[in-house]
Structure 1
Amino acid sequence: MRKVWAGVVLGLLLVAGCDRGSHPHEIGIPAPQFTVSDGVQTIDLSKYRGHVVVLNLWATWCPPCLDELPSLIKLQQQMPNITVLAVSQDEDDAVYRRFLVQHHIDFTTVRDPSTRINHLYGTLQIPESYVIDKNGMIRRKFVSAQDWTSPEIMNYLKDLAS
């Protein structure tokens, strides 16, 4: 009987984890609007209506986040018509600011130590990114580190921006 219950619990855990899959329930709905400020930078998502946005949820202490960071920088440089917005859950402002300078982060990023934006989007693990179209609709969700300069992603974003 214990093995049956263990199997049931394992099955439920696997099913619960499926929400981070390739077709989450967030696709095709309006992106939750937010304004967040860390005293230096402010992001008001509503001001980006009319632009394709890549909303990246990250932190400086997250190894997969750091893995994808160079390609996010290149994406912003190679496709200036795509807006990269990043929301970090770093708690230490000095460490965060030093990191931005050391890594030459040139896209818009803001610190949200309360993780309010992560909760608003249902993000429990980082990195996660949302592609938001010109009309403010979530079109795609990326889970874990991505190569943002891969032909598949670049072509997808180019098509969305046209």
Structure 2
Amino acid sequence: MKLIVSICIFLLTFASEAQQLTFSEEALNDVFLSEANEETTFSEVLQKYRGKTVVIDIWATWCKNCITGMPKVKKLQKKYKDVTFLFLSLDKDTESWKKGISKYEMEGEHYYIPSGWKGGFCSTINLDWIPRYMIVNPKGVISLYKAIKADDKKIAKILNSK
């Protein structure tokens, strides 16, 4: 009986830790805003980088952990020059977002998520903390579903194996 209970607990834990490999239709159809104030769906953003490895950094200027993680992200950018870094902002407004890009000298592709935490993208990826790092491989499959630190060993492992 104890063995059965142990197996059930293991399977439930494993299932809850399983990572999504694709984005839901709701996430893909969520509308983002480019730095040029143009609306685009998340699907269109991903399509733009099809064939490339993409590191997604979900962040905000008000997020202390996001800001303290920036130097680590910059180290990743320096080491993995062939990787696209996609920054998705959950700032309260576009003015704060754009000022943050400049202030923190963030290089990469930038989009603002107007729908916020409760919108299609964030709710379907079960966003519960920022920063949140994800990796999408060149085929568009999610290689890393969740990391909350830029120096998470899983990030480097995936980027080294590409």
Query: What TM-score, normalized by structure 1, do the two folds share?
Result: 0.71
Report how far residue 39 of structure 1 moved. Answer: 5.5
Partner of 2:143: 139
Partner of 1:127: 131
Partner of 1:74: 75
Partner of 2:95: 94
Is there any run of 5+ residues in structure 2 with no aligned partner, and where? 1-11
Report how far residue 73 of structure 1 moved. Answer: 2.1
The partner residue of 1:40 within 36, 40, 46 is 36
RMSD: 2.7
Distance in 1 separating the partners of 2:71 and 2:83: 16
The partner residue of 2:19 within 22, 25, 30 is 25
Report how far residue 142 of structure 1 moved. Answer: 3.1
After superposition, give the CA deviation of every residue in 1:49-95 in whole Å (9 maximum; x if it has no partner): 11111111111111111121122122223212111101111022222
Query: What TM-score, normalized by structure 2, do the two folds share?
Result: 0.71
Give the total of aligned pairs. Answer: 138
Tell me if the contact between 1:126 and 1:144 (Cα under 8 Å) persists in the aligned partners: yes
Is there any run of 5+ residues in structure 1 with no aligned partner, and where? 1-14
Tell me if the contact between 2:87 and 2:109 (Cα under 8 Å) persists in the aligned partners: yes
Partner of 1:159: 161
Tell me if the contact between 2:52 and 2:138 (Cα under 8 Å) persists in the aligned partners: yes
129-138 vs 113-122, which deviates more? Answer: 113-122
After superposition, give the CA deviation of every residue in 1:18-53 in whole Å (9 maximum; x if it has no partner): 95xxx3331xx2234355224626661122111111
Distance 1:133 1:31, change over 3 A: farther
Alignment-mate amino acid for residue 36 of structure 2: V
The 5-angstrom pairing of residues 41-56 of structure 1 reads 44-56=45-57
Tell me if the contact between 1:31 and 1:136 (Cα under 8 Å) persists in the aligned partners: no
Report how far residue 101 of structure 1 moved. Answer: 0.9
The percent of aligned pairs where both chains have the same amino acid is 23
